[in-house]
Structure 1
Amino acid sequence: MRVLYRNKSEQHELKVYDTKRLYEEQGHFRVLEFSNEAVQGAMDLDQPARIVLEYPRAMVHLMEHNASSYESVYIIGHGIGTLPSYLSGKQVKVAELDEEVVEISRTFFGYEGDQVSVGDGRELLQQERSGAYDYIIVDAFTSEGTPKQLISISFFEIVKMKLSAEGMVIMNVFGRAGNDRLVNAIHTTLCELFEYTRSFALPVETEDEQQNRILVASDQPIAFQARHMAGFVEQELGEGYVIQD
């Protein structure tokens, strides 16, 4: 590992490094890491346009499979700019709380987009017009996980208002493998407002591990093809509580 940058911003402990091994893959990678060694973005330096991490690949499949003609996407959480770069031909807006993360994406990962607004994603989304977006993606993290203001029923009411009638919200969340109380609660809260929901997870070996999940909600049926979900498999979640602000 060769560390290129290390700093503590107002929001995160930040580290950028190059490595020849990422998870089980050999290659030449550049990684953005937040607190607790949490990988927030990774670039294949030999193939910069390739989406390296599984969860954005699965998200892209869900978007393209459910509404191939979609045009408008709102993203909360910028990271290295993987999804905004891939969606550069669409109408995309991004909200990122940490200005330093945006600067890192440009300096170390070559991000060239100009559609990023620095600020609280919930507040910025609330300023958008109703029905403006085909997809809203929530991919924001602190050292404690997904910010609480982005998983409450009042936040999801804002999300639903800003989605088109056939729109969909897609969330990247982490929780303990198996029956995670908070993940169950996020899913239950989504069920209060949306007709259809689905949950997907990357398999892990033990229930003590943190598990990467994708939660999806819409008022239209949600379709997917398992072979294009980058290893994510559908799972049933337990009953949870409704999250209030």
Structure 2
Amino acid sequence: MTNLIKRASAEARAFSKTRKTRGNTASKQVDADLDNAPVIEAPRKPRFAPVTFSEEGGVRYLHFGTEWVQGAMRLSKPQHIELEYAQQMMSWLLFLATPARIVQLGLGSASLTKFAHRYLRPAKVEAIELNPAVVVAARTMFELPHDDARLAVRELDAWDFVHDRANHGTIGALQIDVYDATARGPVLDSVAFYRAARACLTDAGIATINLFGDHPSYVRNMKRLKEAFDGRVIALPEVHEGNRIALAFSGPALEVSWAALEKRARLLESKLGLPAHQWVKSLREANAENGKGNKSDKSDDTFAI
């Protein structure tokens, strides 16, 4: 994802100053020097769209200068996860007890961060956000609390975060929602990025990724996710906002009965108010679709990945 540039040697730069007086021979020498120059990574130069807001029906929405919704908060329930696709980003709870470390890549309106911080004790919750204006908006307009012993919001590039070896093997649940103003697909979606994200997970960790279903980027992202996670990826059906949430699994093979998932869903609904029963239904649909034509498939009784 990082742009690459070619760096000419000091000699080539000095030589280029006299290229006009030396004719075509000098020009060819400079070109040859540039062709053989080492390739280095250029610093990322983010260009941020304006952070804007709207309100309708008691819900405040976050935008990046366009009509596309980047997050939402119901004013009467600021700790509630308002949007359905954002609720699905918590579907890893069907498979994992509360891990020691939960990380969101992309803060948005901070609905996931606030929810995890308030309800998923004693986990340490971190949000990684590159745009400082989004952090300010989350604090002032969406009731994100200030950092404390369990909460940390860091102004950092998600690419740099996942490639930092200090984070590898330390995250139980990783929630990836990295969009720009166009909102037509993740801005970080290479195999290298997804492999680094997988490296951040613990031995039995799960990543949830917000994809845009009605867009060519969806097929590309699913292909790259499956390459990075050895095929252990499943996507929930598209919700009305057009988003599709993918779950990517790391660690040993997982096999759990649908009955056990239904039992877990009832617990999540009663304790956290999340629509977990619908998640199980969606997983069944996705699992059945993935298992078409496989006569040995045990999807009627178990979810296996």
| TM-score scaled by length of structure 2 | 0.63
Name the SS for the 1:170 alignment partner. Answer: strand
Whichever structure has more strand as a proportion of its residues is 1
The code of the aligned residue for 2:157 comes to: D
CA 67–79 in structure 1, closer or farther in 2 if over 3 Å, else same: same
Provide the rounded CA distance (Å) in 1 between the counterparts of 2:255 and 2:132.
34
Provide the rounded CA distance (Å) in 2 between the counterparts of 1:40 and 1:69.
26
Question: Would you say 1:167 and 2:167 are equivalent positions?
Answer: no
Query: Counterparts of 1:68-87 in structure 2 under 5 Å?
Result: 68-87=97-116
Query: Counterparts of 1:1-245 in structure 2 under 5 Å?
Result: 10-20=47-57, 28-60=58-90, 62-88=91-117, 89=121, 90-114=123-147, 115-127=152-164, 128-144=166-182, 145-148=184-187, 150-176=188-214, 180-195=215-230, 196-203=232-239, 211-219=242-250, 220-221=253-254, 227-229=277-279, 234-235=285-286
Provide the rounded CA distance (Å) in 2 between the counterparts of 1:112 and 1:230.
32
| Deviations, residues 134-155 of structure 1 (Å, cap 9, x unaligned) | 111111111343444x211111
Superposition CA RMSD, Å: 2.5
Name the SS for the 1:198 alignment partner. Answer: strand
Asked if structure 2 preserves the Cα contact closer than 8 Å seen for 1:202 and 1:232, the reply is: no
Name the SS for the 1:32 alignment partner. Answer: strand
Asked if structure 2 preserves the Cα contact closer than 8 Å seen for 1:33 and 1:41, the reply is: yes
Provide the rounded CA distance (Å) in 2 between the counterparts of 1:85 and 1:153.
29
Provide the rounded CA distance (Å) in 2 between the counterparts of 1:37 and 1:72.
33
Q: Post-superposition shift, 1:125?
A: 2.6
| Deviations, residues 174-210 of structure 1 (Å, cap 9, x unaligned) | 142xxx4321121111111324111113345xxxxx7
In structure 2, runs of 5+ residues without a counterpart are 1-45, 263-275, 291-305
* Matched positions, count: 212
CA 92–187 in structure 1, closer or farther in 2 if over 3 Å, else same: same
CA 29–125 in structure 1, closer or farther in 2 if over 3 Å, else same: same
Asked if structure 2 preserves the Cα contact closer than 8 Å seen for 1:203 and 1:232, the reply is: no
The code of the aligned residue for 1:184 comes to: V
| Deviations, residues 59-111 of structure 1 (Å, cap 9, x unaligned) | 22x22111023221121100111111111132122111110011011111111
The code of the aligned residue for 1:77 comes to: G
Q: Post-superposition shift, 1:232?
A: 5.7
Asked if structure 2 preserves the Cα contact closer than 8 Å seen for 1:197 and 1:222, the reply is: no
| Deviations, residues 24-64 of structure 1 (Å, cap 9, x unaligned) | xxxx111112243111111111122221111121222x221
Provide the rounded CA distance (Å) in 2 between the counterparts of 1:71 and 1:33.
32
Name the SS for the 1:229 alignment partner. Answer: helix
Asked if structure 1 preserves the Cα contact closer than 8 Å seen for 2:177 and 2:186, the reply is: no
Partner residue of 1:241?
none
